[in-house]
Amino acid sequence: MSMTGWEWTQKDTEELSEICEKLRDNVPFAFSRWGDGEWIMVSKTYDERKNANIDGNIYYDDLADKLKYIVSQKQDYYMGHMKMPIADPYGNSLEHMKDEYPQNWINSDLLHGLSIRNQIPYMLELLDSIHVVYIGNESLKTLPFIDEFIEIPYKNVWNSYDQVLTNIKDHIQDNKHKTFLFSAGMATNVFVDDLWKYNKNNTYMDIGSVFDPYVGRRSRGYMRDHNINKLEKI
């Protein structure tokens, strides 16, 4: 799949199948994704001139410290790493970062791969069959598979992290499995880690910007380059 900067492999298919099977069967798991923004923060290669990511989320020092702590610990959940080349704000490669922090890394962009291959309807059908709590900005609340929606700011959710975390915990029920999907910027990895340690009876999954084009927001280059339309309710 050269359009993404990486080729779809059999390993990608196996990883995606495993995740989809767990979603379908309500088997709890957590999945965080580590891309250029997260690695820039872990490496602290940002500065006053380059102090925010592509979405305008500021690189906060305390968030950077938290992310570094998380990735420094061996985790018992899925850790996704971008296959696309990643670099710091000045173009220096950060490809070595995942080797400095050994985890059981998988492809972080499995769902984006589905989107590019026009296979999101399969994921939509799956999500519509389970109980989904979505944490995202206002534009995403119209997605047709959402059962509960927790609205957060369009950017810099880190500034209201404690309040949002409390709100999410209020949606957790001990006797009911729910799937929590996050589009919350670089703070997502902290939400996923904190919530997984708080209650492992649910699923906590970083899905990033994958659903942006389906609500009219083409926030990534590949979304502008390919024919991606709004989702139809099933």
Q: What percent of the chain has a predicted confidence (pLDDT) above 70?
A: 86
How far from 135 is each of 35, 193, 212, CA to CA, in Å?
19, 15, 13
Residue 232 has pLDDT above 50, yes or no: no
Average pLDDT, integer, range 26-34: 96
Average pLDDT, integer, range 138-145: 91
Could you tell me which residue, 85 or 36, shows the higher pLDDT? 36
Residue 130 has pLDDT above 90, yes or no: yes
Could you tell me which residue, 125 or 163, shows the higher pLDDT? 163
Q: Average pLDDT of the chain?
A: 86
pLDDT at 234: 35
pLDDT bucket at 2, cuts 50 / 70 / 90: very low
Residue 11 has pLDDT above 50, yes or no: yes
Q: Write out pLDDT tens, residues 100-124.
A: 999 989 998 888 777 666 667 778 8
Residue 189's nearest CA partner among 24, 84, 57, 99 is 57
CA quadruple 134, 126, 194, 136: dihedral, nearest 10: -20
Q: State CA 75 to chain mean position distance.
A: 16
Residue 183 has pLDDT above 70, yes or no: yes
What CA–CA distance (Å, rounded) separates 78 from 94? 20
Residue 209 has pLDDT above 90, yes or no: no
Residue 181's nearest CA partner among 215, 148, 205, 152 is 205
Of these ranges, 1-10, 64-73, 83-92, the one predicted with the greatest mean pLDDT is 64-73
CA quadruple 128, 129, 133, 136: dihedral, nearest 10: -30
CA atoms within 13 A on the CB side of 137: 15
